[in-house]
């Protein structure tokens, strides 16, 4: 695809649909849903693949795979004062996953400290 054609693509068409990375020892993953094109972020907590995660398809989020007028349900709620929703890109999801890992790590540290005090 040429530079001119790439420039006409929307942000969600230019970024990857999947990303895996490690942060503070935790495996992290981002996946785009096929149905509506939103990104979902996950932190894998243990070897049994327990996940904590979130998706970017809520009020205030722009949902690229929905066509008007249905997309308007998400991007023009009264709570937003009619403002357009914001597309949550892969960098946003990566940053939010890191915040989630920080919270999980803090919890596990506190939990470990409690267990050592109980012994």
Q: What is the pLDDT of residues 73-90, one digit of tens each?
A: 444 455 555 556 788 999
CA pseudo-torsion sign 34, 39, 45, 51: negative
In-domain check, residue 5: no
In-domain check, residue 44: yes
Joined tokens for residue 78: 């009264």
For the chain, what is the mean pLDDT?
Answer: 82
Q: Which residues contact 77 (CB under 8 A, 6 or more apart)?
A: 59, 60
Mean pLDDT of 105-110: 90
Could you tell me whether strands 51-55 and 18-23 are parallel, antiparallel, or unpaired per DSSP bridges? unpaired
| Per-residue pLDDT reduced to its tens digit, 32-51 | 999 889 999 999 988 777 88
Distance CA 112, CA 48 (A): 19
Long-range contact set of residues 27-31: C-beta below 8 Å, sequence gap at least 24: 28/94, 28/97, 28/98, 28/101, 30/90, 30/93, 30/94, 30/97
Any idea which of 3-12, 15-24, 63-72, 95-104 has the lowest mean pLDDT? 63-72
- What is the domain range of residue 50? 16-118
In-domain check, residue 2: no
Whether pTM exceeds 0.75? yes
In-domain check, residue 53: yes
In-domain check, residue 26: yes
């Amino acid at each position: 695809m040429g530079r001119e054609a790439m420039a006409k693509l929307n942000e969600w068409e230019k970024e990857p649909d999947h990303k895996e990375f490690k942060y503070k020892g935790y495996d992290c993953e981002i996946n785009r849903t096929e149905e509506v094109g939103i990104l979902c972020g996950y932190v894998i907590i243990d070897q049994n693949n327990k996940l904590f995660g979130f998706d970017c398809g809520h009020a205030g989020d722009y949902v690229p795979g929905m066509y008007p007028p249905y997309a308007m349900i998400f991007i023009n709620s009264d709570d937003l004062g009619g403002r357009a929703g914001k597309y949550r890109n892969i960098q946003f999801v990566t940053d939010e996953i890191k915040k989630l890992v920080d919270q999980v790590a803090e919890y596990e540290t506190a939990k470990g400290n409690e267990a050592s005090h109980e012994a």
